[in-house]
């Protein structure tokens, strides 16, 4: 396997704990969280519930589990859930909504991950014995495949109002909600005010090594604890991990703005690159997508995307091919402003090199 690139922009999940975070982990008060409870985990859960304006929260190993708990605790087998057609829940969570929660899924379109109340209303099944009942709608903020797009606050409010009118539960997949807060100049509580539940991730924008949380009303979280145990997500002295998350909340939230600045700098660099396209105005947060050779067939775009990732790795910068003719770079805690500048230079050089190889 190739060594880890010098500047790793494949995802914001590649960060390593800072020295200060490691000290916080080393000195964490711990207990058996499956038995009487871990004090640091309880502190984190209470803190997150307060930040999100919910009655309770539960600490879980991953965002995938947090979203699955949201579905499992708020639906019944045979129900249908509504998500955007590029939602992480649909594309990247191994079909847990079907395999474990027993739900079908209704996918709806929308610009960069955002859909309208009218689109939601049209997706809801009418009451009929032949149809699965629609019971839950989930939105993703920020939206990964939408280029890290942050939902406008008024758009969230409109979806929440429509969901309530339709008697649906609303879940926010907030894996990168911290980034959405910076992009919209809002608090976490404000962004999920109208939602029944929300998941947040500590190992993305905040740079903790492990962990997510699921927050909702007390009854839903009590049920989530049972399902977490059944799914193997109940951990023992997990205060070591919770301490990292608490440290990240206290010390890494404000610096997310640097990731957004790095992403915008790269987007403006890509504008100058031959053979690829990107609109910097569509770079809201820490994620940058660029499409290769947009005038060519998708097969050629994808071939060039894979080749460009290889060229960038040879220059010490790790990025990912999305599989659809686009490449992705994600900025994070371990990518300083200096690293961002180096990545921009490497990207421009790599694009020029690839243009020479392929005569783009």
Q: Note the pLDDT tens digit of each residue in 10-32.
A: 999 999 999 999 999 999 999 99
| SS3 assignment, position 31 | coil
Report the alpha-carbon distance of residue 306 to residue 25 in Å, rounded.
38
Looking at residue 25, its pLDDT comes to: 98
Strand partners of residue 171: 138, 197
Ramachandran region, residue 190 (left: φ > 0; alpha: ψ -120 to 50; beta: rest): alpha
Mean pLDDT to the nearest integer, 315-343: 96
Residue 358 has pLDDT above 70, yes or no: no
| SS3 assignment, position 191 | helix
Q: Note the pLDDT tens digit of each residue in 34-49.
A: 998 999 999 999 999 9
Q: Note the pLDDT tens digit of each residue in 252-279.
A: 999 999 999 999 999 999 999 988 999 8
Looking at residue 360, its pLDDT comes to: 42
- For residue 138, the number of C-alpha atoms closer than 13 Å in the C-beta half-sphere is 30
CATH C-level class of 7-13+255-358:
alpha beta
Instruction: Give 289-338 as a DSSP string.
Output: EEEE-TTS-HHHHHHHHHHHHHHHHHTTEE-EE-SSSEEEEE--TT--HH
- Domain map of the chain by residue range? 7-13+255-358, 31-251
Q: Name the nearest CA neighbour of 141 among 102, 98, 170.
A: 170
Looking at residue 2, its pLDDT comes to: 60
Residues ≥6 apart with Cβ < 8 Å to 350: 308, 311, 312, 315, 317
Q: Do domains 7-13+255-358 and 31-251 have the same CATH topology?
A: no
pLDDT band at residue 354 using 50, 70 and 90 as cut-offs: confident
Report the share of the chain in percent with pLDDT over 90: 94
Mean pLDDT of the chain: 96
**CATH code 3.40.50.360 for 31-251:** no
Contact indicator for 114, 86 with CB cutoff of 8 Å: no
Q: Which helix (H) or strand (E) holds 26?
A: helix 19-26
* Pairing label, strands 287-292, 80-84: unpaired
């Amino acid at each position: 396997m190739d060594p880890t690139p010098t500047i790793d922009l494949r995802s914001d999940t590649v960060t390593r704990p800072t020295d200060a975070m490691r000290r916080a982990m080393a000195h964490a008060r711990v207990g058996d969280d499956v038995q009487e409870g871990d004090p640091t985990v309880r502190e984190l859960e209470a803190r997150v519930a307060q930040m999100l304006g919910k009655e309770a929260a539960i600490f879980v190993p991953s965002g995938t589990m947090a979203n699955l708990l949201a579905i499992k605790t708020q639906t019944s087998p045979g129900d249908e859930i509504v998500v955007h057609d590029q939602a992480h829940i649909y594309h990247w969570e191994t079909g847990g909504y079907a395999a474990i929660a027993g739900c079908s899924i209704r996918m709806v379109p929308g610009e960069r991950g955002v859909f309208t109340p009218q689109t939601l209303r049209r997706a809801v099944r009418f009451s009929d014995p032949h149809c699965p009942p629609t019971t839950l709608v989930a939105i993703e903020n920020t939206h990964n495949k939408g280029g890290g797009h942050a939902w406008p606050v008024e758009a969230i409010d409109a979806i929440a109002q429509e969901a309530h009118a339709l008697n649906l539960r609303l879940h926010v997949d907030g894996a990168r909600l911290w980034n959405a807060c910076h992009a919209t100049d809002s608090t976490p509580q404000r962004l999920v005010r109208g939602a029944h539940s929300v998941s947040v991730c500590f190992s993305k924008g905040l740079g903790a090594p492990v962990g997510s949380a699921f927050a909702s009303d007390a009854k839903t979280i009590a049920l989530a604890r049972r399902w977490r145990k059944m799914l193997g997500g109940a951990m023992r002295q997990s205060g070591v991990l919770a301490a990292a998350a608490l440290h990240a909340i206290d010390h890494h939230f404000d610096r997310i703005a640097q990731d957004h600045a790095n992403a915008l700098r790269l987007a403006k660099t890509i504008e100058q690159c031959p053979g690829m396209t990107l609109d910097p105005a569509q770079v809201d947060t820490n994620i940058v997508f660029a499409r290769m050779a947009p005038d060519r067939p998708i097969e050629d775009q994808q071939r060039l995307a894979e080749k460009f990732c290889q060229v960038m790795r040879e220059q010490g910068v790790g990025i990912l091919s999305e599989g659809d003719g686009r490449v992705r770079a994600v900025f994070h805690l371990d990518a300083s402003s200096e690293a961002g500048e180096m990545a921009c230079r490497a990207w421009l050089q790599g694009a020029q090199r690839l243009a020479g190889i392929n005569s783009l």
